[in-house]
A = this chain, B = another copy of it.
Amino acid sequence: MTMLEKFSPLFTDLYELTMAEAYFAHHFTDPAVFSLFIRNYPRERSYFVAAGLEDVLAGLEGFRFSADEIEYLRSTGLFSKGFLLYLEEMRFTGSVRGIPEGTVFFKDEPILEVCAPLIQAQILETFLLNTIGFQTMIATKAARCVHAAGGRALIDFSARRTQGRDAAIKVARSSFITGFSATSNLLAGKLYGIPVSGTMAHSYVTSFDSEIQAFEAYAQTYPDRSVFLIDTYDTLQGAENAAKVALEMKKKGRRLIGVRLDSGDMIAFSKQVRSILDRSGLQDVKVFASSGFDEYKIADAIKQGACIDAFGVGTKLGVSADAPYLDIVYKMVRFRDRDIQKRSTDKINLAGEKQVFRKTKEGGRLAGDTIGLKHEILAGTTALLETVMKDGRRVGPRPSLDAIRKRFARDFAGLDESYKTGAQVYPVALSDPLRKVQGADLRDIL
């Protein structure tokens, strides 16, 4: 169990609880609806991939302040006895509607709507934004890498440079959803059943007296699973050494899986290494490459004819380096019987409890979304938000990671190339009933 699953309700901003104390004092305990959505695309993005819902539901199921958490709150001197008692007994009793993980969606569309007594719904803000925001950001980045790789295998190598260990585990899961083949992260492999993969490090090679001895030792231990790192001393000599050991392996009926490049001009090296291997009759030995790859570098390598069969994608995926956060927000959209809209100088949101309706054309092609009110019926569309929790309990079975992966593959295959690249903006409209409940001028939104 990872920390994201073992959720402490104390993971929240102080103001959520001071506001809640004021709500409590004024008996504001009626149900409210909050909506989670992304206000803008980060650079280069034109779609998002939903992720994080499973962790949200696990957190809500176990929602409960422990005795020592209540004691800590008491020690701050900020909370009344009555309110602390209320918190101590609080469980999540609300309902949650969400876009399933793996779904492709767009800005302004609600990913999640929570309907719960105001105080419950309010204090979840920090947790929900953090969980959905991070995993959705990474799944989106990973989808972009998958798109750039055009069918070549991708492996998550990010664990060492993610922003914390929990992040690493979630990166492995979020990238696997979008079609990555494997992760190097063993803990993620164990937790989620994701295939694990890896080669060797430079320190391994340097701990032997020679590179060729290092390769031979590895081949002895892993006669059918070896990938040799060939750039420790001299990449082309490394390729020759790898070829030599691969031929020895071949004689024994074994096969070298591949060689890995981790530095230098990967495009030029990959071609030279390929030809060294081919010259030795080792056409079946693959070339892996790692070091600084992301969707941009992958696309560039492919365009320049690099002979790379699989990419290890690390740091830049793991922190979504070119866009390391989302403009994701959680806004009250309904309280008591009033649709609510915040309106400040430069930030606005859509009032009302909502639904996203999607039209698809033949062959599953995504043809346009409409954001409407929850109870509308739009013929010939699919409603994206599903009820996943009711009265604090999960509704329906927990989808397998494989099912989530398939959902993404289906959606992504249905998304036209021009929407993937951002050449065209995917059409998202607002329904008339939704427009009618808005108090403000909507020109700035859609």
Contact = CB atoms under 8 A, between A and B. Distances in A.
Nearest to A21: B221
A163 interface: yes
Total identical chains: 2
Interface in A151-204: 157, 159-168, 170, 184-187, 189-190, 196-204
B21 A163 contact: no
A204 B19 contact: yes
Interface of A: 2-4, 7-8, 10-19, 21-23, 25-26, 28, 32, 34, 69, 72-73, 76, 78, 118, 122, 125-127, 129-131, 133-134, 157, 159-168, 170, 184-187, 189-190, 196-207, 217-218, 220-222, 225, 231-235, 262-265, 315-316, 318-321, 324-326, 328, 331-332, 335, 340-347
Contacts of A3: 2-3, 164-166
A74 to B, nearest CB: 11
B315 A325 contact: yes
A8 B345 contact: no
Contacts of A126: 159-160, 185
Nearest to A346: B263
A263 B34 contact: no
Given A321-B325, A344-B233, A164 B198 contact: no
A344 B341 CA distance: 58
A22 B217 contact: yes
Contact of A342 (B203, B324, B326): B203
A162 B160 contact: no
Contacts of A18: 198, 200, 218, 221-222, 225
Nearest to A203: B332
The 5 A-B pairs of least Cβ separation, nearest first, read A15-B198, A14-B198, A264-B345, A163-B163, A3-B3
A186 to B, nearest CB: 5
A344 B202 contact: yes
A164 B200 contact: no
A377 to B, nearest CB: 29
Given A22-B221, A203-B122, A345 B159 contact: no
A268 to B, nearest CB: 11
Nearest to A349: B202
Given A203-B331, A207-B32, A263-B345, A162 B196 contact: no
A340 B206 contact: yes
A213 to B, nearest CB: 9
A174 to B, nearest CB: 11
A134 B163 contact: yes
The residue in A10, A17, A76, A325 that gathers the most chain B C-beta atoms within 10 A of its C-beta is A325
Contact of A129 (B72, B160, B264): B160
A176 to B, nearest CB: 15
A196 B165 contact: no
Given A129-B161, A164-B163, A319 B325 contact: yes
B345 A184 contact: no
B168 A130 contact: yes
Nearest to A351: B206
Contact of A207 (B23, B73, B325): B23
Given A130-B161, A263-B344, A13 B198 contact: yes
Contacts of A167: 163-164, 166-167
A235 B13 contact: no
A184 B231 CA distance: 47
Given A187-B11, A220-B25, A202 B342 contact: yes
Contacts of A28: 207
